[in-house]
Structure 1
Amino acid sequence: MSALARLTATETKLFFREPIMAFFALAFPPILLVVFGLIPAMREPDPDLGGLRAINAYVPIIIAMTLALFALTSLSQLFATYREKGVLRRMRTTPVKPWVMLGAQLLMATILSLATTLVVLAIGRLALDVNLPLRLPAYLISYVLAALAMFAVGLLVASLAPTGKSASAIGTLVFFPIVFFAGLWLPRAGMNDVLRTISDFTPLGAGVQSLQDSTAGQWPQPLHVAVMLGWTIVAGGLAARYFRWE
């Protein structure tokens, strides 16, 4: 096995040794979807959502929330903690370079978030009769762009936070407005024009709309693609500029 593969496997084992973090990142999104699905009103067409069932609107929102959980709790907190404890500094004395740790964390977050996404889609389809994406390539592109944008934001938090605890605090403060504009409390279709415009320029607001468009058989709108790419470039660039290995 390559160093990246071995380190990814090790980091995954360590991730599962944090039961609270693992629960919220992996189990909480599917459970939340099931809870929403048990509410009768969520399974009925909603005139405020253009006749769409609320549960259909919430599947991409919960998938986007999964990305936010991995980026702002797992990825940012673990990197800040490793830097605080000198793990990254000590790795410089080994043949494994620090950037391999970065790759392992990103690979682990991508694989686990994708697994959670598949579980959410399976529950939505099999238990709640939610339609699967009609344009799968567009859906995959939207998912990848949303993941890149959120992971860039998570790395930016990790680069600015001096300790693991501060990374957790900053990540929490960033998490709630991001998932609000993604539609967790009020779906985008139910937002007024001002809130929806703000949502369009957030990484998960653009991501959720792109996932919804792809599910309906359309390609993501150029504005939303540009927004997700913009967040990836800007947040990723700032993270690279300010990231400290020790």
Structure 2
Amino acid sequence: MPALSRLTATETRLFFREPVLVFFTLAFPPLLLVVFGAIPAMREPSDDAGGLRAIDLYVPITVALGLAMFAFNCLPQLFATYREKGVLRRMRTTPVEPRAMLGAQLLMALVLSAATALVVLAIGRLAFGVDLPRHLPAYLAGYLPTALSVFTIGLLVASLASTGRSAGAIGTLVFFPLVFFAGLWLPRESMPGVLRSISDFTPLGAGVQSLQDATVGHWPQPLHLAVVLGWAVLAGIPAARFFRWE
């Protein structure tokens, strides 16, 4: 544990030396929520959404977007850059194991993304009157497995991609379908039945619904928890198994 803590602290310091990554993973989601909230139509109640406003629906979607930005745009490129510069090859001669490096990156991502989620919730409440989660344990029960699932998928991409360019390309290919089914362009409440069913079996779609359920005071549905945990297992095992130092 002391070694993991030191490695996590080192990776966090290195992360903050990349201003572009810091902006898109930490600052972009809150700024996007501000842009959405500045649109008058987003603040009008909708009968199709059960009287909720669009901005109410977009807070959990923006939280999920923050997770996706970190998982698919940040982690793969960090690892690919380490490979290209020979950092991972040199670390191979140390006692650091692949699972320790993966664990440090995962822990860093969880902590920083949670901070971004708190900022998003604060902006939603203070600027646009969005209700805070009524059931905090349920919100955590939805957020943590969702974060774990998308980060392990990102780490799988990071383990397999050999260059920064390929990591960026694969991460982008994964990013856009998942954030679509999370409801970024079309909220889940407005999706046709087929798209909604597909969304239920994607990590971000199931995660967003879990966050929305907790916001109104309900526990996440067992199906959605099973989906996000299943994705974490399916991605996490090969991420550790196929990690390449060079």
Q: Which runs of 4+ in 1 moved over 6 A?
A: none
| 2:5–2:104 Cα contact (<8 Å) kept | yes
Aligned length: 246
Paired-residue identity, %: 74
What is the CA–CA distance in structure 2 between the aligned matches of 1:141 and 1:81, rounded to whole Å?
33
C-alpha distance after superposition, 1:61-112 (max 9, x if no partner): 0000111111101112112222333212211223444433222211111111
Provide the C-alpha distance between the structure 1 equivalents of 2:243 and 2:9, rounded to a whole number of angstroms.
24
**Closer, same or farther: CA 197–156 of 1 in aligned 2, 3 Å:** same
Q: In the aligned structure 2, how far is the partner of 1:155 from the partner of 1:12?
A: 16
TM-score by length of 1: 0.95
1:42 is matched with: 42
Q: Which residue of 2 aligns with 1:115?
A: 115
Q: Distance in 1 between matches of 2:181 and 2:98?
A: 34
Match of residue 83 from structure 1: 83
Could you tell me how far apart the structure 1 residues matched to 2:5 and 2:225 are? 31
Q: Is the 8 A contact 1:91 1:98 kept in 2?
A: no
Q: Which runs of 5+ in 1 are unaligned?
A: none
- For residues 17 and 238 of structure 1, the distance between their equivalents in structure 2, rounded to whole angstroms, comes to 29
Q: What secondary structure, in the 3-state scheme, does the structure 1 residue paired with 2:133 have?
A: coil
Task: Determine the structure 2 residue equivalent to 1:100.
Answer: 100
Deviates more, 1:206-215 or 1:41-50: 41-50
**Is residue 88–residue 98 contact of structure 1 (8 Å, CA) maintained in 2?**
no
Q: In structure 2, what is the equivalent of residue 202 of structure 1?
A: 202
Give me the whole-angstrom Cα distance separating, in 1, the residues matched to 2:18 and 2:223. Answer: 38
2:233 corresponds in structure 1 to 233
In 1, the alpha carbon distance for the partners of 2:209 and 2:241 equals 30
Name the structure 2 match of 1:125: 125
Rounded Cα–Cα distance in structure 2 between residues aligned with 1:61 and 1:96 = 36
Q: Hey, what's the Cα distance between the residues in 2 that align with 1:46 and 1:14?
A: 44
- Aligned partner of residue 245 in structure 2, secondary structure: coil
Q: Quick one: which amino acid aligns to residue 125 of structure 2?
A: R
Instruction: Provide the residue aligned with 1:20 in structure 2.
Output: 20
Task: Give how far 1:222 is off.
Answer: 1.1
In the alignment, the residues of structure 1 paired with residue 115 and residue 65 of structure 2 have an alpha-carbon distance, to the nearest angstrom, of 14
SS at match of 1:45: coil
Per the alignment, residue 156 of structure 1 pairs with 156
SS at match of 1:228: helix
Please give the per-residue CA displacement for 1:186-241, whole angstroms capped at 9, x wherever unaligned: 10001110110110010000000000001111111111111111111111122233
Conservation of the 8 A alpha-carbon contact between 1:50 and 1:189: no
Q: Distance in 2 between matches of 1:236 and 1:107?
A: 14
Q: Secondary structure at the match of 1:220?
A: coil
Q: What amino acid sits opposite 2:163 in the alignment?
A: T
Structure-2 separation of matches of 1:234 and 1:6? 28
Structure 2 CA distance for aligned equivalents of residues 29 and 54 of structure 1: 16
Q: Deviations over 1:103-153 (max 9, x none)?
A: 221111111101100000111111111111111111001000100110111
* RMSD of aligned alpha carbons: 1.4
Quote the residue 2:69 is aligned against. Answer: 69
